[in-house]
């Protein structure tokens, strides 16, 4: 059976000699998406000054991008299945480039939100599932693991290298070049796709399930909003009013926070979506999202593991840069250089994982990557302390990067391995949605942990420190208001200033270790859930047509 599959893969490779050129074009588009936010993060202080805005307002640029991206991913994947993935890829790249152009010349934060959060987010929601679906249908056999490894390595390396690029551009040129890069690269991706990527077959001509699209878009918007904004507006009790512009939508005196209400509504709408789509399936009407692939253990447990992994990785990728800048005083560019070993290790790990997947299985490599990440987490946690050196954390970062390279790329391969090609768009969108939800939840929990632990440690240390009573009171108030972003009063000097610097550095280190410990535990949970994924995966097979109950899960043939 395996020999037959490999022979079929070899024949497909002979018929599609442009497959590696296709991969390079897809990688270019994925790199645009992955680098975009990580580049922008380090430019926030400069944008605040240039556009004369506030942190909460500017935060909507980043949060809005994630909201738009996650909201329309499933819809974007379905559009690709119906109208062709190459067409959606081109439209997505065009929207992404247009949004970047608007953002690059934005005279105000409002225009920046329109360009980055809305238009770029829509473009990314079309680009991401289309690129994965094209990759899934282009490669077969052994080369498929290599292609997915390159795709996963690009995402991991782009996230790691983004701060380096963003710090360099912001320091030496302008933060606007973070967007101008996309304006230059997007047309290259479009031209390459039109000339070199094979035309994608269209699905059967059926109308798009608009009610289903509205339900899933609403649910994803509410869910990502609730997860990403609970630190800002409170998880249960309101900590500040929610306002749009000058209009207060949810006052601070309400009994529950807006994020809690959004979370409950998200679950309710998601349940309605599942019931509605299931009813369409039973009636024989084409649904937006078929739940039959969830009967595949590779797809079901692969998505769960992918969500957990995205959640857990934020414990390091979010907190380490914050610790280095807030506690150690590194610049954005210096912080980016500290993360270089991680980015390089992701590339090495992805390629090594692809080679090993030919000898063992993609599932085995994914499991190994999760274990390596958990062990590397422990190494970095033990090194986090005031005065940490690059040599202290570099080995842990290298191990963490290799683990990401192993797990992230091959997990995507696992998720899509048994999904029929005509459902690849929606399945790819589900893959990207799992990453987005995990990242949003991870950012929310990790930010809350590092903030609360830093405040608790700093307040206790300040109250027991040998400082003037007035200084202690001011410092406690500042810490409770700003958390890890607290800066010592400029009026302090001598031993008092040294003591305050020490207290704040140790407090941020304590918060960082707590957040990383959470991330380590979550990655370990991901290693456990990966044990439910079949070790050996079958070939894609047609799913039962609407109205017919699916047969037994093909993945059940193989145990973990």
**DSSP for 412-438, written as a single string:** HHHHHTTS-GGGHHHHHHHHHHHHHHH
234 and 200 share a domain?
Answer: no
Nearest to 23, CA basis, from 370, 486, 354: 354
Q: Is residue 387 part of a domain?
A: no
Is residue 75 included in any domain, yes or no? yes
* Per-residue model confidence (pLDDT) at position 381: 93
Task: Report whether pLDDT(99) > 70.
Answer: yes
* Residue 101 and residue 62 share a domain: yes
Q: Which residue would you say has higher pLDDT here, 362 or 516? A: 516
User: Into how many domains does the chain fold?
Assistant: 2
- Tokens of residue 149, six digits: 């490894």
- The percent of residues in the chain predicted with pLDDT above 70, rounded, is 81
Q: Which region among 215-224, 270-279, 370-379 has the lowest average model confidence (pLDDT)? A: 215-224
| 111 in the same domain as 186 | yes
Q: Are residues 108 and 224 in the same domain?
A: no
Is the same domain home to 151 and 217?
A: no
One domain for residues 214 and 200: no
**Contact between residue 15 and residue 139 where contact means Cβ atoms under 8 Å apart:** no
- 352, 541 Cβ separation under 8 angstroms: no
**Residue 486 clears pLDDT 80, i.e. is over it:** no
**pLDDT (0 to 100) of residue 7:** 43
Lowest mean pLDDT among 146-155, 248-257, 378-387, 500-509: 146-155
CB 404 within 8 A of CB 156: yes
Q: Range of 40's domain?
A: 17-206
User: Is residue 510 a part of any domain in this protein?
Assistant: no
List Cβ neighbours of 520 (8 Å cut-off, separation of 6 or more): 312, 315, 374, 377, 378, 381
Q: Per-residue pLDDT for 159 more than 70?
A: no
In CATH, what number is assigned to the domain containing residue 70? Answer: 1.20.1250.20
Pick from 377, 244, 375, 360: which is nearest to 317 by CA? 377
Specify whether 239 is located in the same domain as 193: no
Residues contacting 332, CB < 8 A, separation 6+ = 42, 43, 163, 166, 167, 170, 171, 325
Residue 341 and residue 438: Cα distance in Å, rounded?
Answer: 24
Pair 165, 200 in one domain: yes
The Cα–Cα gap between 342 and 363 comes to 23
Q: Is residue 359 part of a domain?
A: no
Report yes or no on 527 lying in a domain.
no
Higher pLDDT, residue 400 or 142 = 400
Mean predicted confidence (pLDDT) in 96-122: 88
Any domain includes 163: yes
- Contact (Cβ atoms closer than 8 angstroms) between residue 484 and residue 451: yes
For the ranges 38-42, 185-189, 454-458, which has the lowest average pLDDT? 38-42
| Whether residues 28 and 136 fall in one domain | yes
* DSSP bridge pairs for 503: none
Chain-centroid distance of CA 75 in Å reads 18
Say if residue 40 is in the same domain as residue 144: yes
Among 252, 287, 322, identify where a domain stops. Answer: 287
40, 44, 42, 70: which is closest to 58 by C-alpha?
44
pLDDT of residue 424 exceeding 90: no
Q: Indicate whether 258 and 194 sit together in one domain.
A: no
Let me know if residue 183 belongs to a domain.
yes
Contact 309, 366 (CB under 8 A): no
**Tokens encoding 464:** 């027991």
Confidence of residue 545 (pLDDT cuts 50, 70, 90): low
pLDDT computed for residue 448 by the predictor:
74
pLDDT for position 554: 45
Residues 132 and 228 in one domain: no
Give the residue from 244, 260, 287 where a domain finishes: 287
- Lowest-confidence pick of 40-49, 186-195, 442-451, 496-505: 40-49
pLDDT tier at 102, thresholds 50, 70, 90: very high
Higher pLDDT, 26 or 92: 92
Tell me if 260 is assigned to some domain.
yes
């Amino acid at each position: 059976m395996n020999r037959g599959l490999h022979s079929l893969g070899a024949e497909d490779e002979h018929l599609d000699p442009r497959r590696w050129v296709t991969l390079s074009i897809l990688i270019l588009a994925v790199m645009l998406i992955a680098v975009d936010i990580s580049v922008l993060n380090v430019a926030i202080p400069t944008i605040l000054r240039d556009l004369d805005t506030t942190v909460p307002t500017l935060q909507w640029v980043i949060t809005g991008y994630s909201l738009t991206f996650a909201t329309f991913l499933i819809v974007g994947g379905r559009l690709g299945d119906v109208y062709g993935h190459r067409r959606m890829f081109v439209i997505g790249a065009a929207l992404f480039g247009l949004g970047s152009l608007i953002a690059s010349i934005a005279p105000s934060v409002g225009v920046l939100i329109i360009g980055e959060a809305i238009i770029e987010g829509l473009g990314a929601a079309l680009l991401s599932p289309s690129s994965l679906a094209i990759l899934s249908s282009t490669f077969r056999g052994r080369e498929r693991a290599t292609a997915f490894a390159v795709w996963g390595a690009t995402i991991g390396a782009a996230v790691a290298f983004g701060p380096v690029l963003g710090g360099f551009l912001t320091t030496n040129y302008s933060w606007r070049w973070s967007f101008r890069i996309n304006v230059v690269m997007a047309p290259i991706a479009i031209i390459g796709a039109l000339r070199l990527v094979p035309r994608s077959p269209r699905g059967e001509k059926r109308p798009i399930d608009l009610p289903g699209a509205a339900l899933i878009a609403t649910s994803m918007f509410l869910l990502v909003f609730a997860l990403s904004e609970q630190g800002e507006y409170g998880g249960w009790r309101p900590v500040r009013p929610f306002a749009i512009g000058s209009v207060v939508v949810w006052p601070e005196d309400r009994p529950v926070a807006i994020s809690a209400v959004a979370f409950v509504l998200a679950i309710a709408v998601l349940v309605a979506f599942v019931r509605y789509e299931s009813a369409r399936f039973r009636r024989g009407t084409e649904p937006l999202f078929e739940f039959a692939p969830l009967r595949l253990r590779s797809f079901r447990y692969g998505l769960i593991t992918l969500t957990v992994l995205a959640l857990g990785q934020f414990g390091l990728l979010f907190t380490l840069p914050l610790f280095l800048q807030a506690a150690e005083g590194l610049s954005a560019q210096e912080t980016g250089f500290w993360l270089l070993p991680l980015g390089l290790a992701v590339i090495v790990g992805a390629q090594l994982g692809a080679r090993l997947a030919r000898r063992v299985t993609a599932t085995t490599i994914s499991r190994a990557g999760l274990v390596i990440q958990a062990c590397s987490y422990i190494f970095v946690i033990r090194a986090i302390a005031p005065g940490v050196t690059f040599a202290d954390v570099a080995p842990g970062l290298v191990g963490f990067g290799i683990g990401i390279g192993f797990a992230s790329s091959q997990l995507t391969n696992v998720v899509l391995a048994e999904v029929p090609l005509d459902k690849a768009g929606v399945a790819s969108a589900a893959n990207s949605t799992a990453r987005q939800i995990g990242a949003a939840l991870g950012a929310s929990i990790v930010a809350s942990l590092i903030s609360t632990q830093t405040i608790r440690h700093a307040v206790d240390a300040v109250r027991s420190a040998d400082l003037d009573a007035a200084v202690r009171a001011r410092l406690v108030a500042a810490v409770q208001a700003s958390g890890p972003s607290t800066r010592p009063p400029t009026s302090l000097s001598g031993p008092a200033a040294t003591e305050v610097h020490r207290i704040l550095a140790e407090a941020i280190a304590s918060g960082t270790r707590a957040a990383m410990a959470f991330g380590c535990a979550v990655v370990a949970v991901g290693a456990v859930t990966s044990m439910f994924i079949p070790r050996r995966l079958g070939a894609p097979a047609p799913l039962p047509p609407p109205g017919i109950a699916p047969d037994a899960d093909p993945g059940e043939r193989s145990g973990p």
